[in-house]
Amino acid sequence: MKNKIVVFGLLIILISIGYFSDFKMFNFGNQKKEQVEIAEKSSASNYKNQIDYSPTSTTGQIIVHQNYSLSYFEKYEQAEWVFYELKSNAGNSNFKRPYFIQDPLVKTKSADYKNYKNSGYDKGHLCPAGDMKFSKEAFDDTFYTSNISPQKNEFNGGIWNRLENKTRYWAEKNNALFVVTGGVLKDGLKTIGKEKVAVPEYFYKILLQENKGRYKMIAFLMPNKMSDRPLYDYVVSVDEIEKMTGIDFFPILPDAIENELEKSSDYKSWSF
């Protein structure tokens, strides 16, 4: 009888270990070799929400902060994508901006902010601080250097800022959006600083809205320069961005739905 109790106890322990191991690799599909670094403050629910709809990583280094995740590309000293859910209650608190610091979860070390000094480029947020004003902690977390990319000032403060504001408007209107943002990274780009931070020629932003099992998607691809053109002039298909980046966006979606959404560049269901 004692032997049966011992065996049963060991079985329970093994099942528990297996469960939590499976949870930590939740929904990464074929990306079994990825290195996933998770902030200690990130709860299980936040972790699950961020991983469910996140893109694939071409680098194998995924960082999960409390309210956004990213795939860091050491070669270019920035994230190839940043992903988060933008809710309608993103907040509007006027927090004091902290200094940019290196991301403690990037094992290869994210670039120092000093690379941007006198470079002629802004430290452009990928996950905007303005999308994380619901708490001081969330706001401050956007000031990791893993979350910035070199942007021309007239781009960052111009059409890119218009797109960020429009994204917040759509999140308010639709209750929530899944957002993926990044620069198009490739060989031969101009670099800045001692660590040779790549300067993307193009930036993209992809939005997915889900409502009771129904989806709509829109993608933007913009050159890193000033523009007075309307936002809808920069709408492209997600397929086009996938070809440029090698990233599979929203792989969790059923193939039929994903293929239909990602081939379209129709923006009529979005109010500009």
Q: Could you list the active site residues?
A: 125
d(C-alpha 173, C-alpha 199), whole Å: 33
Residue type present at position 236: V
Which residues are within 8 A (CB) of 126 and not within 5 positions of it... i.e. 6 or more apart? 70, 79, 81, 82, 147, 148, 149, 181, 182, 183
Three-state SS for 232?
A: helix
Question: Residue 6's Cα: distance from chain center in Å?
Answer: 46
What are 5's two structure tokens? 């109790």
Q: Which 3 state secondary structure label does DSSP give 156?
A: helix
